[in-house]
Each structure stands twice: as structure tokens, then as C-alpha cells.
Structure 1
Amino acid sequence: MVVSAERRVSWWWLVGSSAVAFVLLVVLVLVRFDPLVDFDSRVSRATRSATLAHPLGRAVMSAITATGSTRILGPLAALGCAVLLAFRRWREAFFVAVAMIATVAIRLAVVTLIARPRPTDRLAPVASYSFPSGHSAASAAAALILVVVCRPLLRRRWSRILLYAVAGSWAFAVGLSRVALAVHWPTDVLGAWLFVLIIVPAVGLLLDRLSPGEGLRDHPD
């Protein structure tokens, strides 16, 4: 996968700014910063009440949240790698595999180290700790990877906009569903999104440095 010099600079800025924001958020979570705890509690109670008041909405949230599970995204990522390999897109396939594995593995380490408790009145079965959200991280990583891999293949501006809208809306919906089902605090989801904005671009930059050559290039609009 080849990243242009201009895009490489943008990616490094994205990684750096996201890392600063993520570290700040981690510190606030660890010290239990009162305004943040109050915000999380208020939003969690409000969304949980709204979900309980609308059974259909709860069913929709449950269906959406299932799409962010690694049990679904893992096989889909493997299928994507197989398709890319079939078309001899070696670097893209490697990027998909490494970015997804790194996101899941590093997130597991982070969530264990921070050990933040989940909301108590949950509306779905869960295990482990809360920050950052696993479903939110996996879906956001999948969405961002999809954009990175597919964007250079789309020559029309409208098709790129559609790609951004569909991928972004789905990742946002998964994050929203985790809060609506009271299995994560809102800042767990925010932390997951910031985490993905660090890991996925960093993997792309690292692989581009280690394996220069022909690969993904942006088509002109």
C-alpha cells in the first residue's frame, strides 16, 4: 500500500492529535474526573430510559450492536483479505489483516490495564471491562479500513461520499447502540473511536514504510 507524501503528513497529524486526545481521556477516566463521570451517568440514564420505553428501538439497537461483534467482523475481514489476494492486492490484504488484528489485540491490553467498570443496569449480556468499547473499536476499525482500501478504487466523487456516509453511519450506529443498551459509557465509545484513529492509520504508515512500492494510490477526482 502506497501513501502519497501529502497524505502521509495528514495521517501523522491524525495519529498524533488522536493520541493526545486519547491519553487525555484516559487520564480523566482514571482519576474519575467529576464532570466526565456526571456526563457519562446522565447520558447513560437518558439513553437507557429511552431504549426501555421503545421495544422496537431496543430490538433495532440489539441488531445493530451485533454487527460490531468480532465474531461477525472477523470472518468478514478474512473474506475481504481472500478477495484482495484473489485480485493480487497483496499489500491491501496485509493491511486489512494487520490493522484488524492490531486493533483487537491492543484494545484488549488497554481495556485490561484501565479496568473501568461498566454501567450496572445493562440491557445486554457483556463481560470484561468497559474502556474503550470493543464493539465500537472493531466497527470503527472495519469502517476506516474499508474507506482506506476502497477509496482509491472509486473514481467518482459521489461514490466516495457514499462510501464515507455508509461506513461512518454504520460505525456511529454501533457506538450509539452500545450506549443505548447501557453496556458502555459514552466516553467508552469516544475512546474507542480515538483509539482506532491512532491504530489504523499508524499500521498503514508502518506498512508503507516497510514495504514501499506500487499499491493503493488515489485516483484524481
Structure 2
Amino acid sequence: MLVQRDARRRWLWTAAAAVAAYALLTVAVEVTWRPLVEQDAVVSAAAHRLALEYPMWRAVMAAVTRTGDTVVLLSVLAFTLGFLLRRRLLAHLGFVCAAVAASAALRLTVHALVARHRPDEMLSWAAGWSYPSGHTSHFATAALLLLVLVWPRLSTRRQRIALVAVVGGWAVLVGASRVALVVHWPSDVLGGWLVALVGVPLTIVTHAAWRNHSRP
């Protein structure tokens, strides 16, 4: 998987900005920064009222959030790895594995260190600590990986816009569904998106550097 120098520089800046934002957000969550806590509470209370007032909205959000379940994502990952293996795209396969591992390690480490409690009035079952959102980070990572792998294979601008709209839009919806069902605070979801924006770009830069170094 080859990445041009200019593209590698853009990915590096993306990762740097995401690292800074994720660090600031994590500190704010850890110290229970009052403006963040209050805003989380306001949005969660509004989401709770909306879901109770409109059962159809709640049902739609529940259906959306199930697409981000571990079983679904593991199935997609297994299919992707199998496809890359059959095509003997070993560099791409190694990149996907490394990106998934990097994002998971980053999320789980912060997840355990911060140990934030979930909202009290959850409208769906959820276990474990709250920050950052696992559904959100997993699906955002998968969406970003699909964009990276599929984008170069599309020949028209319309196809690329459609790809971003579908994959990126669904990743946003999965994160929003976690707030809509009051199983995560809004800042948990923001943290989940930032995990993907740290893990995938850093893996791209590292993988590209390794490929360039190992090339004869």
C-alpha cells in the first residue's frame, strides 16, 4: 500500500490534530470540566425526552446502533481480511490489522484509565465504562478504513462523493444513536470519532514509512 509524500504529510497533520483534540477532551472528561459536564447533561436530557416522546425515533436509533455491534463489525472485518488474503494483497491486509489494533489499543487504554460512568437513564442495554464510545470508535475506524481502501479504486468524483456520503454518514449515525439512546454522553461519542482519526492516520503514516524503508 503506497502513499505519496504529500498525502502522507496530510495524514500526519490529521493525526497530529486528532491527537491534540483527543488529549484535550480526555483531560476535560477526567477532571470533570464543568462546561463539558453540563453540556453533556443538557444534550442527554433532551435525547431522553425525544426518545420517550417519539417511540418510532427510538426504534430507528436502536436499529442503527445494532449495525455497530461487535458481531457485525467482526463479520465485516473477517470478510475484508479474507478478500485481501485471496487477492494476495498482503500489505493491505497488514495495514488493516495494524489500524484496527492501534485504534482498539488506544480506546481500551483510555477506557480503563478514565473509567467514566454511563448516563443514569439509559434506554438500551450497555455495559462497561462510557468514555470513549466503543460502538462509535469501532464503526468510525471501519468506515475510515473502507474510505482509504476503496477511494483509489474509484474513477469518478460522483463515486467518491457517494462513498463518503454513505460510509461517513453511517459512521456519524451510529455515534448519534448512542447519544439518542442515552447509553453514552455526547463527549463519549466525540472521543470515539477522535480515536479513529488518531489510529488510522498514524497507521497510514507508519505503514508508508515502513514500506519505503524496506523497499530495495
Aligned partner of 1:142 in structure 2 is 142
Cα distance in 2 for residues equivalent to 1:105 and 1:48: 31
**Residue identity matched to 2:92:** E
1:97 positional shift = 2.0
8 Å contact kept, 2:136–2:189: yes
Q: Distance in 2 between matches of 1:204 and 1:174?
A: 24
Q: For structure 2, which runs of at least 5 residues remain unmatched after alignment?
A: none
**Counterpart position of 2:74:** 74
Report whether the alignment pairs 1:83 with 2:83. Answer: yes
Match of residue 132 from structure 1: 132
Query: Retained in 2: the 8 A contact 1:85–1:93?
Result: yes
Q: Decide whether the 8 Å contact of 1:137 with 1:196 is kept in 2.
A: yes
User: Does structure 2 retain, via aligned residues, the 8 Å contact 1:77–1:97?
Assistant: no
Matched positions, count:
213
**Alpha carbons 1:103, 1:141 under 8 Å: kept:** yes
- 8 Å contact from structure 2 (residues 116, 131) kept in 1: yes
Q: Which residue of 1 aligns with 2:26?
A: 26
Question: Residue type matched to 2:9 in 1?
Answer: V
- Pair 1:120-2:120 in alignment: yes
- Deviation track 1:100-133 (CA, whole Å, cap 9, x = no partner) reads 2332233112101110111010011111101100
Contact 1:179–1:185 (8 Å) recurs in 2: yes
Show the 5 A alignment for 1:28-47. 28-47=28-47
Matched, 1:110 2:110: yes
CA displacement, residues 156-190 of structure 1 (integer Å, 9 cap, x when unaligned): 11101110110111000000000000000001001
Residue identity matched to 1:88? R
Equivalents in 1 of 2:17, 2:101: separation in Å? 23
Q: What is the Cα deviation at residue 98 of structure 1?
A: 2.0
Contact between 1:44 and 1:186, CA under 8 Å: does it hold in 2? yes
| Paired amino acid for 2:120 | T
Counterpart position of 1:161: 161
State the match for 2:56 in structure 1: 56
Contact 1:116 1:131 survives alignment (8 Å): yes
How far is the alpha carbon of 1:212 from its aligned partner? 3.4
How much has 1:84 moved relative to structure 2?
1.6
CA contact (8 A) 2:154 2:160 kept: yes
- Residues 121 and 182, structure 1, Cα contact 8 Å, conserved in 2: yes
Question: CA–CA distance in 1 between the matches of 2:31 and 2:102?
Answer: 27
TM-score (norm 2): 0.95
- Greater mean deviation of Cα atoms: 144-153 or 54-63: 54-63
SS in 2 for 1:83: helix
Q: Is the 8 A contact 2:8 2:204 kept in 1?
A: no
Q: Which amino acid aligns with 1:65?
A: T
SS at match of 2:212: coil
Query: TM-score normalized by structure 1?
Result: 0.93
Provide runs of 4+ in structure 1 moved above 4 Å.
none
The one-letter amino acid of 1:60's match is V
1:78/1:97 contact within 8 Å kept: no
| 1:182 corresponds to | 182
SS at match of 2:2: coil
Letter in structure 2 aligned against 1:90: L
Are the aligned partners of 1:21 and 1:194 in contact in 2 as well (CA < 8 Å)? yes
